[in-house]
Structure 1
Amino acid sequence: MDTPTAPKAGAMLHLRGNTLSEGDPVALPLTQSSMYHLPGDWSGGPSYGRADNATWEHLEHVLAYLEDAPVLAYPSGMAAISASLFACVKAGARILIPSDGYYVTRRLSERFLAQLGVEVDQRPSASFAEGGFAGYDVVFAETPSNPGLDLCDLRAVSQEVHAAGGILIVDNTTMTPLGQRPLELGADVVVASDTKAPGGHSDVLMGHLATRNPDILQAAREWRQFGGGIPGPQEAWLAHRGLETLELRFDRMCNTAELLAERLAAHPKVGSVRYPGLPQDPAHALAKRQMARFGFLISLTLDSAEQADAFINGCPLLRAATSFGGVHSSAERRARWGDDVAPGFVRLSVGTEPVEELWSAIAASLDALDS
């Protein structure tokens, strides 16, 4: 079965340009207003800054083109995740989330959904379908998982979830719409943090939700408007600017990651490497069926937390930081946040540096580690 591919990136760059009149600015204007001129009775146009903003609406237009589905923008990835869950879950519902996915999703579910009468269960991504999905109102999947990069079969999971009467939400942050197409694989809702590769410059928080289900879309829109979790126009403008170079950056980041993963797997100081693009990776066969690219994240395990910190801090071309997906390669020791990983586990986010220059710096830092 062919892997779903994204819409053309070139056409994305001209979505707005092809609607311009003479004298219109080519760059997206920034609409910085909380109020709109409203004489007489309201006719249905822009009314108030919490409900309408031309800048974030154009961001949504571009993201909707990439997702091939209606999109709502949110001020962070977690805001989009929250909207998806609160749009689909009610008191007494039962949901399933990944035990090895982004830890804040687990904390949100355990801290807030559970106290509202929602039953929250967890499973690891690699065995996500084991036990079936009967009795679950909402299933929330994340593949590849963050930070371990395990996969679950989205097409098979979606078929089973729907057969059981449930809704499937997929966090596609690690792959973007250019690398994986969850809606085409059967998901009802896709959420993502555009803080990562779509924004790409580590200077903006943004997220989005995409769905072809009009009821879910309306509920998520009302959650945003009534709850007040709206994106700022300046942030939306920055996220839109980042999207214009996403295809270029993502291609380079993925190409570089494929090469680095092979070299890291062969390095004597590296205990283990997870990267879906490696032929020996346990998720490789599924990744080839499900993903258009193998991504820009690599996980590697060193002997200890001290070695992990020495490797990250000793490499001049790695930024020691949480988050990922920026033009600067970055790395972090994920055990410090409580993830169920080895003390020396490192999540490496590959940026846009020239590949041989980046590898030389990484190899030198690894070579300098004490045995």
Structure 2
Amino acid sequence: MSDNMAARAAHLAHLRRAELEKGDPVALPLTLASMYHLPGEPAGFNQYGRFANPTWEAVEKLLAYLEDADAVAFPSGMGAISAVFYALLKTGDRILLPSDGYYTTRVLAERFLAPMGVTFDIRPTGSFPEGGFDGYHLVFVETPANPGLDLCDLTAVCSQAHAAGAIVVADNTTMTPFGQRPLDRGADLVVAADTKAPNGHSDTLFGHVATRDPELSAAIRDWRKIAGAIPGPFEAWLVHRGLETLEVRFDRMCASAEMLAPRLAAHPAVQAVRYPGLESDPSHNLARAQMERFGSLIGLTLASEAKAEAFINGCALIQPATSFGGLHTSAERRARWGDAVAPGFVRLSIGCEPTEELWREIKASLDKLAG
């Protein structure tokens, strides 16, 4: 971890201290309010629950500190992505999306943006800069791509897209600010599903948009207020609690993934492994250059759908579930959602269990398939 991010990790849980009066609770209070006491002129005060809430504003403060940018909270990661699209796009605009990124972003473009006159193209993450960016109003990049874990050069994409006059949006859900910093590499906006590692406990949905451009931030905030796409205060409170331990959990998850990936690659039941931390991975050199950590997601391919399901269901320390980034190691066969991966491809999300005990259970499940 860089010195800058180590300092941010150290100070994150202490940000509230500057606001505390003697006798105040150290833990963030949960504010449940749709109305505020508001006699006279309303300017400068909390006015209505759709406009502001102290609990979600506290979360935004933590996220802003981590991103070193203004952060706007939303009720889910897709809520954050939708806000960027609807706040910044108009009829006649053309956008570029990754063909191998999170599929719901493409579904949103196809079902709702296209009928409004916003056209879109798709391109594989591994060759994202090829073909240039002329004619695009917005370029949306996801690196590592979910679920296949291909990478693209963020600095090159941002530089070339800006030269063509495009806004660059980076989905950083898989990495968090502790694993990768797209804004530092030129992205105009970051979107993320804080449902994953930032919350970390698999008990709430949340998302955010971060940007260092005041005009873009104002547009996103205005759209949220008018559209009503606001986070709930209890959900915000849960995410605030999760963020205070994000660095510790993410460090454990990434360290375990780095240890487990080569062992998985060497196991006879595994046909292929994608993990940016492996020296044999085609994206390894790029990952070393632009990522703070290699992440907690591992893609492994087993011989068939049946073997993939048997591996997941036969491991006592793997939770069969969609989503990732939680305390529990979890896995799923992504072809069941229509992703362009092999039938036996498994997205394995490494959690916070003791690494060697986790490996013993994973190996035991794989050993049954190799026999």
Give 1:208 deviation, angstroms.
0.4
Q: Take 2:225 and 2:321, find their aligned partners in 1: how far apart are those partners?
A: 32
Q: Take 1:80 and 1:245, find their aligned partners in 2: how far apart are those partners?
A: 23
1:71-122 CA distances to partner (integer Å, 9 max, x unpaired)? Answer: 0000000000111112221110000000000000010011111111011100
1:150-204 CA distances to partner (integer Å, 9 max, x unpaired)? Answer: 0010000000000000100000000000000000000000000000000000001
Q: Take 2:289 and 2:54, find their aligned partners in 1: how far apart are those partners?
A: 38
Report the equivalent of 1:211: 211
Contact 2:333 2:347 in 1 (8 A): yes
Report the equivalent of 1:16: 16
Q: Take 2:4 and 2:189, find their aligned partners in 1: how far apart are those partners?
A: 18
Alignment of 1:1-371 (within 5 A): 6=5, 8-369=8-369
Please give the TM-score of this superposition, normalised by the length of structure 1: 0.98
Contact 1:142 1:170 in 2 (8 A): yes
Q: Take 1:199 and 1:3, find their aligned partners in 2: how far apart are those partners?
A: 23
Q: Take 2:41 and 2:341, find their aligned partners in 1: how far apart are those partners?
A: 59
Give 1:42 deviation, angstroms.
1.5
Give 1:41 deviation, angstroms.
2.2
Q: Secondary structure at the match of 1:110?
A: helix
Give 1:20 deviation, angstroms.
1.0
Q: Take 1:3 and 1:23, find their aligned partners in 2: how far apart are those partners?
A: 36
Q: Secondary structure at the match of 1:208?
A: strand
**Which residue identity does 1:159 align to in structure 2?**
S
The aligned length equals: 370
Give 1:18 deviation, angstroms.
2.7
**Which residue identity does 1:32 align to in structure 2?**
L
Inter-CA distance 143–5: structure 2 relative to 1 (3 Å threshold): farther
Q: Take 1:206 and 1:323, find their aligned partners in 2: how far apart are those partners?
A: 13
Contact 1:31 1:53 in 2 (8 A): yes
Contact 2:269 2:370 in 1 (8 A): no
**Which residue identity does 2:270 align to in structure 1?**
V
Give 1:3 deviation, angstroms.
7.9
Q: Take 2:46 and 2:130, find their aligned partners in 1: how far apart are those partners?
A: 48
**Which residue identity does 2:118 align to in structure 1?**
V
Inter-CA distance 346–145: structure 2 relative to 1 (3 Å threshold): same
**Which residue identity does 1:59 align to in structure 2?**
V
1:116-163 CA distances to partner (integer Å, 9 max, x unpaired)? Answer: 101110000000000000111000000000000000100000000000
**Which residue identity does 1:291 align to in structure 2?**
M
Q: Secondary structure at the match of 1:86?
A: helix
Contact 2:95 2:119 in 1 (8 A): yes
1:33-84 CA distances to partner (integer Å, 9 max, x unpaired)? Answer: 0000111221321000001100000100000000000000000000001111
Contact 1:201 1:327 in 2 (8 A): yes
Gaps of 5+ in 2: none
Inter-CA distance 120–3: structure 2 relative to 1 (3 Å threshold): farther
Q: Take 1:278 and 1:40, find their aligned partners in 2: how far apart are those partners?
A: 62
Inter-CA distance 121–193: structure 2 relative to 1 (3 Å threshold): same
Contact 1:3 1:291 in 2 (8 A): no
1:184-231 CA distances to partner (integer Å, 9 max, x unpaired)? Answer: 000000000000000000001000000011111111111111111100
Q: Take 1:224 and 1:329, find their aligned partners in 2: how far apart are those partners?
A: 34
Q: Take 2:310 and 2:17, find their aligned partners in 1: how far apart are those partners?
A: 48
Q: Secondary structure at the match of 1:170?
A: strand
Q: Take 2:57 and 2:296, find their aligned partners in 1: how far apart are those partners?
A: 29
Q: Take 1:334 and 1:322, find their aligned partners in 2: how far apart are those partners?
A: 9
Give 1:305 deviation, angstroms.
0.5
**Which residue identity does 1:292 align to in structure 2?**
E
User: Superposition RMSD on alpha carbons, in Å?
Assistant: 1.2
Inter-CA distance 114–337: structure 2 relative to 1 (3 Å threshold): same
Contact 1:299 1:346 in 2 (8 A): yes
Per mean C-alpha deviation after superposition, the further-off stretch among 195-204 and 16-25 is: 16-25
Contact 1:9 1:247 in 2 (8 A): yes
**Which residue identity does 2:140 align to in structure 1?**
F
**Which residue identity does 1:43 align to in structure 2?**
A
Q: Secondary structure at the match of 1:59?
A: helix
Q: Take 2:241 and 2:365, find their aligned partners in 1: how far apart are those partners?
A: 34
